[in-house]
Chains A and B, each alone.
Chain A
């Protein structure tokens, strides 16, 4: 039944629904405040448990559909195995819900266990259907088998209904049927409402038990072995019940039937004894218990940790144990045990499960939320895992970024932005690259991008991507180089609009305020040339002196004077500049010295 497999499980399509739906339930549980106390909180937790189970069942149905409709025998085998595993999971979960989450007390406990058995023993369903739908059921060869099934499952009304058919078909047995019917009708059962106490129930039951005993001893059913065996079952006769092994199929069915007919007011803590003996009697030394049996046994023994441990070993993914343990933790059940181990186990399992989610190309997003709810190591795990998500599109990178930002994972934010910015830069998408640096507030990268723009400008003599540079807005302040880029472009714009005095002022500021990188000063000074050569004097004396100083700073500051002097073009430029500056100075001195007017 149980196959230990690697986590390829996750890749099966139908399981994805399980993971996504249960993620929703998980999140709802984490967020549900513990303001509610006592009964309402318990009801809430039971509802959560039921929701998980209904998701498992839905997945089981889908898996079953898939198994039935596929033609590929290998796939069919895989799907069928999954159906069995899911069915086992639901069986275990259901029992845990009854014993741990709901913590059913004596009385209701038996009813819940009966429901549990009825839900999960379906091997007899087809037989039941066959008999019920036949023309005269009482003549069917399996008739008594079905009656037995109903009795074993405590389905008294249905058993009585069949008995009445037997009574009408077979006049000789009318009396016996009537008596048996009466016994079944009168059988005291625990009720969910508090209409009777346990003591009252026990008393009534004792009475009823004695009545059944009398009828049996009087030989009332002597002429019908079937009905006599039913009467014995009603009396809780182990041998009689065990004879119907094939109809019960499992030892836990046997257990519940036994309890129903010998000790209906069983207390939770008494279960372990009955469970152990039931299993021993049922298996009778012929077969040994399977992993599933051991897990259920551990549950009956209220060994929660054992249940979880066994499930972890046997099941091939962490989904089941992670969610179940989390639920039990919310029921405050794990904390009453060894505290340290208790809280760590929940976290350990959630971390494992979430890590597996992260190994899936698509389900990693679910993993994030699980890590969020692991207080000790969740964050560290998330940091490590999220860096490994391949950023195939900008949209995906944005989602990863949002996750990191919401959790103040600054390093990861910068890392993602840097990767995306580099990609953009390689593809010459300078605007995109800038957009990523702004998001990360990465001044260094913004500088890199600006240098790229400036390099392009120097090579081509014009700006690319004016729509970007002209519209930098406040992001210009992210890095000095970026500011320079924006301002430099502004200079060009002013020049183009023939607003020369403003352009001149800006140009000078760029140098004197050290916004411009030194490497660019030559270019700026060269840009000043046309302004110096204008008919109209633009630079004031003050400004001209500034320019001259800049030029001298530039030429003096250059350590490699030798190389500088050897480069003809450079030398010519400098000479031209010096000349232009001198001429401008001459003109401006005259202009400023001249008295206006007259």
Chain B
């Protein structure tokens, strides 16, 4: 519900927000997130505590606005960011550098742990003016994959000084985002509208598969893979279009959903509830896409207590395994789409979901946290 959103103006334009991952068996809600800024002379990576932990309400809810724990200066815009593990964050910079920061919980400080200064560059590594922005980073501890405006793909390991593997000129256009498909395969999207699969086990510097949209080569800005069904991939384009792909079949998307009026910056499947998808855009909106079973068919008492109750009671349970995302029949599995921002102004650059918590950041220099997303 919207009343559960707490906002905070932070005097920096936020380019990325990421929840700290929870340990595997954890039952609690995420309570800590990181943000990165951009377009400042002095950009920062900051760690925040979500809500006031000291003020538990009647139901054990936490209230209050996000509270800054610590921050550290970051050279260049924070283009992308991801937690490597509970203590370390990897940040991609517009200077072409990739840095691992460590969050020291005991004294609440951040320090730069390791940096690959020229992970991405144009033409010549030795010329100082040749920095190319690193646009995307994804981690699978200890592996780190980065992509950039130089069309280069790097594979790093957290403990190794040099890159494990580099594919130069992997793409003639800018690579905008990268994510893991499987542990040895990655997905990239670029500025001429192509989705590519790369097999890192193979030595050749060619993608194993290339997908593209029909029609104009609209650049793709973000990509995410379904957490359970690895053949389902979602991408967001410069025209705000959400595309769902089934990479087992065909080279074109399964569905194209007209969503935003401007660039879609991020797309995320909910990690534990993948019938829910979230997208945010330059047009200032944040959409929640809900393909979980049609609620109106159910008797009302089943709606209480959260999503899981409704899920199990659905009669055609096998259908959820097939996944509503690939369904071509709009009448059967209707999708509910909600804009979570009532008064939109400037771009929502980034969002992250974990459990019942949503965090997002805007160009209006504000961060928003909703800790009761499915209430």
Contact = CB atoms under 8 A, between A and B. Distances in A.
A81 interface: no
Q: Give the residue among A20, A396, A471 with the most B Cβ atoms within 10 A.
A: A20
Interface residues of B, number: 51
Nearest to B133: A393
A430 B41 CA distance: 30
Contacts of A13: 11
Interface string B142-162: 000000011100000000000
Given A365-B363, A429-B172, A467 B39 contact: no
Given A27-B345, A431-B192, A467-B207, A20 B174 contact: no
Contacts of A427: 122-123, 130, 132, 150
A524 interface: no
Interface in B255-282: 262-263, 282
A473 interface: yes
Contact of B343 (A28, A399, A471): A28
Nearest to B15: A395
A393 B123 CA distance: 17
A429 B130 CA distance: 13
B173 interface: yes
A379 interface: no
Given A393-B133, A430-B172, A471 B150 contact: no
B8 to A, nearest CB: 9
Interface in A422-441: 427-432, 434-435, 438
Given A20-B366, A362-B13, A399-B282, A431 B343 contact: no
Interface residues on A, range: 35 or more
A473 B215 contact: yes
A462 B12 CA distance: 48
A398 B263 contact: yes
A369 B345 contact: yes
B333 interface: no
A21 interface: yes
A483 to B, nearest CB: 15
Contacts of B346: 365-366
A17 B365 contact: yes
B194 A16 contact: no
Nearest to A405: B262
A14 B11 contact: yes
A434 B192 contact: yes
28 contacts: A13-B11, A14-B11, A17-B365, A20-B366, A24-B343, A361-B39, A362-B40, A393-B94, A394-B174, A395-B38, A395-B79, A398-B238, A399-B363, A427-B122, A428-B122, A429-B172, A429-B174, A431-B171, A431-B172, A432-B174, A432-B191, A435-B173, A435-B192, A464-B172, A471-B210, A473-B212, A473-B216, A475-B217
Leading 4 A-B pairs by shortest Cβ distance? A431-B173, A431-B172, A465-B172, A427-B122
Given A20-B365, A369-B345, 20 more contacts: A16-B9, A16-B365, A20-B9, A20-B364, A20-B366, A361-B39, A362-B39, A393-B94, A396-B39, A402-B262, A427-B122, A429-B173, A430-B172, A432-B174, A435-B174, A435-B219, A468-B192, A471-B212, A471-B217, A473-B214
Interface of A: 13-14, 16-17, 20-21, 23-24, 27-28, 361-362, 365-366, 369, 392-396, 398-399, 402, 406, 427-432, 434-435, 438, 464-465, 467-468, 471-475
Interface of B: 9-13, 38-41, 77, 79, 94, 122-123, 130, 132-133, 135, 149-151, 169, 171-174, 190-192, 194, 196, 207, 210, 212, 214-217, 219, 238, 262-263, 282, 343, 345-347, 363-366
